[in-house]
């Protein structure tokens, strides 16, 4: 019945998730959803690391996943702080409204 | 059994991620992302990495997503404005938007092509990796990176407080 998952299946799944995240970053117009799309991309990469770990019989990839998670936590904290600061200034979350640095 | 579980979890992860991106209400986006994380956690168990699966639930679904939920509730802007003008068209209008759609398409085609070239490599089976091995490797070989991470988190903490602080007027 269902085909046995290979290394390729995991890489394919990861690629699809990463593409969804990329599309989200470019298509949505809400800064919070943008940050969530970045989280989807980070998770797709994590899946690649763990699958490669299994394939090469090591634990290095899992350690990289921990570092990715730490960086994701830092990114979420700083990103959301910036979102709050921006919302105080403009009363909107649309990225099109923040054009002060554009010239 | 493993094959069935893989396809179910993969389908859940993809559908939940699609809904995260397609959702107009950020509240639902956050909750659906948690569903996606849970499915990925199940995939980690299938890949013999139970520790990563537990960390995924505890740190990602438990801590980071709660942070997002707090901000969504704090700002109280439930829905995105409906698309107007050039925003309504997917492949036309604004340069970044068209560029993004094309970029995503190129990613999928390129990766599918690359993966077809190396088809049929089966994933290894065996005992799940032990937490002991991970710990030894992490604190012995990756000690410097570990300490650098702690510095990164400290800087992020200070930065978040400085940025979100109300300006004394």
With respect to residue B28, please indicate whether it lies within any of the assigned structural domains: yes
Among partner residues B2, B6, B153, which is closest to A73 by beta-carbon distance? B153
Residue A97's pLDDT is 78
Rounded-to-integer distance, Cα B103 and Cα A19, Å: 9
| Residue B15: strand, helix, or coil | helix
pLDDT exceeds cutoff 90 at A39:
yes
Among partner residues B6, B87, B166, which is closest to A9 by beta-carbon distance? B6
Q: Does B127 touch chain A (CB under 8 A)?
A: no
For residues A14 and A45, the answer to whether their CB atoms sit within 8 Å is yes
With respect to residue B95, please indicate whether it lies within any of the assigned structural domains: no
pLDDT exceeds cutoff 90 at A67:
yes
The string over B38-57, giving b where at least 16 C-beta atoms fall within 10 Å of a residue's C-beta and e elsewhere, is: bbbbbbbbbbbbebbbebbe
For residues B55 and A62, the answer to whether their CB atoms sit within 8 Å is no
Angle B115-B49-B3 from CA coordinates, rounded to 5°: 55
| Residue A6: strand, helix, or coil | strand
| Residue A55: strand, helix, or coil | helix
The string over A51-90, giving b where at least 16 C-beta atoms fall within 10 Å of a residue's C-beta and e elsewhere, is: bbbbbeeebbbbbbbbbebbebbbbbbbbbbbbbbbbeee
Would you state the torsion angle of the CA atoms of residues B96, B100, B101, B103, taken in this order, to the nearest 10 degrees?
A: 130
With respect to residue B87, please indicate whether it lies within any of the assigned structural domains: no
Rounded-to-integer distance, Cα A74 and Cα A76, Å: 5
Closest chain B residue to A59, measured at CA: B134
Structure confidence by residue, pLDDT tens digits, B36-82: 999 999 999 988 888 999 999 998 888 999 999 999 888 877 566 66
Assembly ipTM: 0.89
Give the percent of chain A with pLDDT over 70.
97
Subunit contact B68:A35, Cβ cutoff 8 A:
yes
Q: Where are the domains of chain A?
A: 7-98
With respect to residue B38, please indicate whether it lies within any of the assigned structural domains: yes
Residue B26's pLDDT is 87
Closest listed residue to residue A77, CA positions, set B54, B26, B71, B28: B71
CATH of A7-98, one of 3.40.1350.10, 3.40.50.300, 3.80.10.10, 1.10.287.3510: 1.10.287.3510
Report the pLDDT averaged over residues A56-60: 87
Range of the domain at B44: 1-80
With respect to residue B123, please indicate whether it lies within any of the assigned structural domains: no
Residue A96 distance to chain B (closest CA, Å): 11
Subunit contact A37:B20, Cβ cutoff 8 A:
yes
Q: Would you give the distance in Å from CA B25 to the centre of its chain?
A: 18
Rounded-to-integer distance, Cα B151 and Cα A67, Å: 12
Residue B153's pLDDT is 94
With respect to residue B19, please indicate whether it lies within any of the assigned structural domains: yes
Q: Would you give the distance in Å from CA A32 to the centre of its chain?
A: 12
Structure confidence by residue, pLDDT tens digits, B82-116: 655 545 555 455 666 667 677 777 877 777 777 67
Contact residues, B window 3-62, toward A, CB-based 8 Å cutoff: 3-4, 6-7, 10, 13-14, 17-18, 20-21, 23, 26, 29-30, 33, 36-37, 40, 43-44, 46-49, 51-52, 55-56, 59-60
For residues B62 and B113, the answer to whether their CB atoms sit within 8 Å is no
Residue A65's pLDDT is 94
Rounded-to-integer distance, Cα A95 and Cα B22, Å: 17
pLDDT exceeds cutoff 90 at A22:
no
pLDDT exceeds cutoff 60 at A33:
yes
Residue B97's pLDDT is 65
Closest listed residue to residue B36, CA positions, set B59, B18, B63: B18
Subunit contact A85:B163, Cβ cutoff 8 A:
yes
CATH of the domain at B5: 1.20.120.1200
Residue B99's pLDDT is 72
Give me the total of CB pairs closer than 8 Å, taking one residue from chain A and one from chain B: 237
With respect to residue B31, please indicate whether it lies within any of the assigned structural domains: yes
The number of folded domains in chain B is 1
pLDDT exceeds cutoff 80 at B120:
no
Q: Where does the pLDDT of residue A7 fall: very low under 50, low under 70, confident under 90, or very high at 90 and above? A: confident
Q: Where does the pLDDT of residue A77 fall: very low under 50, low under 70, confident under 90, or very high at 90 and above? A: very high
pLDDT exceeds cutoff 90 at B14:
yes
Give the percent of chain B with pLDDT over 90.
37
Which residue has better confidence, B152 or B24? B152
Average pLDDT, chain A: 87
**Which residues, in sequence order, are bridge partners of residue B122?**
A6
Closest chain B residue to A85, measured at CA: B164
């Amino acid at each position: 019945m269902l085909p046995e998952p290979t290394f390729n299946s995991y890489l394919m799944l990861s690629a699809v998730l990463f593409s969804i995240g990329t599309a989200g970053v470019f298509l949505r117009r809400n800064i919070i959803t943008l940050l969530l799309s970045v989280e989807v991309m980070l998770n797709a990469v994590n899946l690649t690391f763990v699958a490669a770990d299994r394939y090469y019989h090591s634990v290095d990839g899992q350690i990289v996943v921990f570092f990715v998670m730490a960086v994701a936590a830092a990114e979420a904290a700083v990103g959301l702080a910036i979102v709050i600061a921006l919302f105080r200034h403009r009363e909107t979350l649309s990225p099109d409204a923040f054009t002060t640095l554009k010239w | 059994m493993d094959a069935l579980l893989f396809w179910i979890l993969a389908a859940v992860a993809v559908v939940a991620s699609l809904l995260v991106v397609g959702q107009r209400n950020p509240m639902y986006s956050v909750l659906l992302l948690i569903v996606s994380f849970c499915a990925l956690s199940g995939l980690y168990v299938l890949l013999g990495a139970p520790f990563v699966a537990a960390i995924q639930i505890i740190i990602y679904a438990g801590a980071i997503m709660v942070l997002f939920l707090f901000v969504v509730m704090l700002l109280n802007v439930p829905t995105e404005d409906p698309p107007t003008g050039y925003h309504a068209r997917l492949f036309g209008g604004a340069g970044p938007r068209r560029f993004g759609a094309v970029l995503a398409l190129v990613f999928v085609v390129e990766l599918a092509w690359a993966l077809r070239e190396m088809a049929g490599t089966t994933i290894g089976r065996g005992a799940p990796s032990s937490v002991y091995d991970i710990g030894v490797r992490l604190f012995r070989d990756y000690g410097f990176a570990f300490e650098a991470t702690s510095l990164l988190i400290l800087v992020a903490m200070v930065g978040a407080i400085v940025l979100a602080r109300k300006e004394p007027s």
